[in-house]
Amino acid sequence: MSDLDEEYQLDYFHEEGFERKECPSCGAHFWTRDSERDICGEPPCADYDFIGDPGFDTEYSLEEMREAFLSFFEDHDHERIEPYPVAANRWRDDVLLTQASIYDFQPLVTSGETPPPANPLTISQPCIRMQDIDNVGKTGRHTMAFEMMAHHAFNAREDIDDPDQYAYEGEVYWKSETVAYCDQLLDELGADIEDVTYIEDPWVGGGNAGPAIEVIYRGLELATLVFMCMEQDPDGDYELKDGNRYSYMDTYVVDTGYGLERWTWMSQGTPTVYEAVYPEMISFLKDNAGLDYSDREESLVNRAARLSGKLDIDDVDDVEAARDDIADELGVETDELRALVEPLEDIYAIADHCRTLAYMLGDGIVPSNVGTGYLARMVLRRTKRLADGVGVDAPLDELVDMQAERLDYENRDTVRDIVRTEVEKYRETLERGRRHVERLAEEYAQKGDPIPLDEVIELYDSRGIQPETVEEIAADHGADVEIPDDFYSLVAERHGEADADADDGTLAGDDDRIADLPETEKLYYEEPERTDFEAVVLDVIERDADGETVYDVALDQTMFYPEGGGQPADTGTLSTDDVAAEVTDVQETNGVVLHRTDEAPGKGEFVRGQIDGVRRRRLMQHHTATHIVGHAARQVLGDHVRQAGAQKGVESARFDIRHYERISREEVKRIERVANNIVTDNLPVKQEWPKRNEAEADYGFDIYQGGIPPGETLRLIQVGEDVQACAGTHVLQTGDIGTIKILSTERVQDGVERLVFAAGDAAIEATQRTEDALYDTAEVLDVSPQEVPATAERFFEEWKDRGKRIEELKEQLAEARAHGGDGGEEVDLGGTTAVVQRVDGDMDDLRATANALVEDGTVAVLGSGDDSATFVVAVPDNVDINAGAVVGELADRVGGGGGGPPDFAQGGGPDVDSLDEALDAAPEILRSMLEA
């Protein structure tokens, strides 16, 4: 028996007459009411047994099944709550995508730090599991995008010493009640509960663990009931399947997951889940791709669908070998079966991937090369590849929009724009990347080695080249490559988790003396414009900084703002009767604010703090302006715009946003107008301190633009319609900003645009610097400032025309040199002629002369000695002389080097005095190359 066997001895199982059995096929333990049952019932131990014979009394659509589930649990005293976004990094900093309903409540609720929005609760949460991408379409049941219907209860042990330490207390319900709910729901829907099995399968994940039960009905897993009650502990009493030890927690959570799509499928009994979930889209895609089956073929496809659960890459080592087994069982050749089902599998995957994209783009994820943006781009490119391969010619943006419309997203125009932009980028990527793959294939073909999987993954990761493309190109060049069934899952693993930020932003690190200090009272929130205060010195820590002695001063209260949230620290002074210490930096650790000074006030003394008021005011202006510019950018560019980073300064600030294309000059002006309208409206800048749940319920997850702060209580800053969780200092009225001027925009990475702006006096100064440059330019051009653009354009066009004329004259001069007999030596190479000539000009002169000679079928060996010795060698196509080798020989004689392809090369060296000797040796070098 396993360490958790006792956890499965539920009163409900015993009261209802269940028996515990061991599956002879897979070895799993399961509970059943059927004393005659031997098999656990889950594929590959069993087949789907409901296709063509639905397992419920009534056929449900997705919407009807969702409502039936949520209403059932509402009737059993659960509160229905609205689903969260699929981008879990909107409220968490440790993961990217929402993969289960419990993600909505981790880690703050499950740990007991904050209360849940309701207890117990029920929800139907959209989720995306990238690890399932390679199973989609094949198994008949896997969808990368799905809704996890769930009910949750958050419990805390009643025998702990301090029950108030957690945000909830006591037990709501636990294992037996959870299984009873599932049984009752199945029974109400008309399931034959005698045919339901409950498989024991302990769960581990994210440092937590607990017993879990898989609910299997007629070959399909409908739900997983997880009982999260343990945490990883090296001294724990229980060793679980991941090899780690665990111990019981004070809190314990009912974490259930009911697959909406699978419950809907069970009610309809269609060949696969995809016909039940996307009936209209599957029909459209099949018609568009020209898929048409005879009655015999349709029957064969449906029979294969009942067995498709055996194609799960998590359960079989070789999917194609498993397909061979299915073909044998159906009595057909594998090639015939593959020809029938593989196009359908692609159609199913396209429909599912389009739904995934609708969720991701609809929830504001912008495709890029990192994080959730990378995952969205990966799905989009794979979908495009599948559509092209199966012959679907409908534009991808229309296909994604079909799903976005079904999901009731209001930003469908933006979603379509993003898809169109990404498809065009993909085309450009393929054109560039194909040449790289060809070179790689040639390299490994020459070695006789297969292209390594790591190379294929890197090609996809860095260049977007699909593995199928690599296979095609490799075959054309005689190279081998093997693509595993779980290729896309392997790629997704590289980008599946968010990077934790290890920097705590402290001056002093984990100092025991700091840990013993009380938290510093922060005065700057209540009076942000005040610049002086008095405080008591609690401690002074002496430190060495690059050979100089500095001091970290802890006070009981402070007006100094510590660096954080992209806002630099305040500077100023701390003074006593005897000491005037300059404060050069301020940081916070564990609630204690540390002031870095050049002198040490005495511990226990009263100090007078004086902040640099001009600096503080400019930082406040820029911080509030950052909120306003972000809001204005969303108004102009779309609701998908979210902060990707920000830094406030004294002279200017920068604000990075997630956006899928470059920001135009017209859009910059519109953003600027919206922002300055908010300034001139002189709106109050409000702050409040609500509970986290209240803030999220009232304002959504866009409050976390600048990151996810810890704690049960948040500080919210409201500027007009914009509300954000923010710990920075702000002006009291938007009119205090004065003005906002956007100075520049740039793309800092794919999918991220940077807006650099200035506010208040800094905006005026920046504008004056720009005007000064304009006036200086006007003075140089001897025109008015308004005439500068037209004058500059005229000068530029004249300069371009002059450059073209110079090039024409150079070409004419080169022709004259090549054919005018001005000192070049002609060398008979037995079938062709070479000209060796010194042409003292720039590289353009040498190239032009060489090209003129080669056009006449002449080998050109040219040298120049203006600043250094330079050579150009050009060889006609039919002459067996390597230009790169000739240049190498010549350049070596002048103390340098060079090379190039066989038909054109250049090089040189510093020894100008040896140039003529090198050219004198050229005839012999050419003849020796021909003889070789």
Residues placed in the known binding site: 623, 627, 726, 730
The beta-strand segments (E) located in 233-378 are 238-239, 245-259
Please state, in angstroms and rounded to a whole number, the distance separating the CA atoms of residues 581 and 597.
6
Per DSSP, the three-state class of 199 is strand
The pair of three-digit structure tokens given for residue 448, joined into one six-digit string: 């006789």
Beta bridge partners of 898: 907
Residue type, 610: Q
Match 């070479």 to its residue by tokens.
834
Please state, in angstroms and rounded to a whole number, the distance separating the CA atoms of residues 350 and 399.
9
The pair of three-digit structure tokens given for residue 122, joined into one six-digit string: 């029920």
Please state, in angstroms and rounded to a whole number, the distance separating the CA atoms of residues 718 and 688.
8
Please state, in angstroms and rounded to a whole number, the distance separating the CA atoms of residues 510 and 121.
40
Residue 458 phi, psi (nearest 5): -65, -35
Please state, in angstroms and rounded to a whole number, the distance separating the CA atoms of residues 730 and 619.
8
Match 């900093």 to its residue by tokens.
93
Vertex 414 angle, CA 408 and 418, to 5°: 120
Residue 787 phi, psi (nearest 5): -90, -5
Please state, in angstroms and rounded to a whole number, the distance separating the CA atoms of residues 147 and 104.
13
Please state, in angstroms and rounded to a whole number, the distance separating the CA atoms of residues 420 and 288.
20
Please state, in angstroms and rounded to a whole number, the distance separating the CA atoms of residues 283 and 292.
11
Neighbours of 506 (CB within 10 A): 18
Per residue in 777-813, is it b (16+ CB within 10 Å) or e — as a string? ebeeeeeeeeebeeeeeeeeeeeeeeeeeeeeebbeb
The pair of three-digit structure tokens given for residue 101, joined into one six-digit string: 């309903």
354 touches 379 (CB < 8 A) = no
Please state, in angstroms and rounded to a whole number, the distance separating the CA atoms of residues 271 and 141.
10
Beta bridge partners of 193: none
Match 């720009």 to its residue by tokens.
770
Q: In Å, how far are 33, 674, 726 from 735, measured between CA atoms? A: 72, 14, 20
Q: What is the 3-state secondary structure (H, E, C) of 679-706?
A: HHCCCEEEEECCEHHHHHHHHCHHHHCC
114 touches 134 (CB < 8 A) = no
Please state, in angstroms and rounded to a whole number, the distance separating the CA atoms of residues 422 and 360.
14
Q: In Å, how far are 98, 141, 150 from 83, measured between CA atoms? A: 11, 23, 11
> What is the CA 828 to chain-centroid distance, rounded?
64
Nearest-Å Rg of the Cα atoms of the chain is 36
Neighbours of 634 (CB within 10 A): 21
Match 């650790």 to its residue by tokens.
589
The binding site for Zn(2+) consists of 623, 627, 726, 730
Please state, in angstroms and rounded to a whole number, the distance separating the CA atoms of residues 149 and 257.
6
Consecutive H or E run containing 906: strand 904-909
Per DSSP, the three-state class of 237 is coil
Please state, in angstroms and rounded to a whole number, the distance separating the CA atoms of residues 219 and 269.
12
Task: DSSP letter for 497, please.
Answer: B
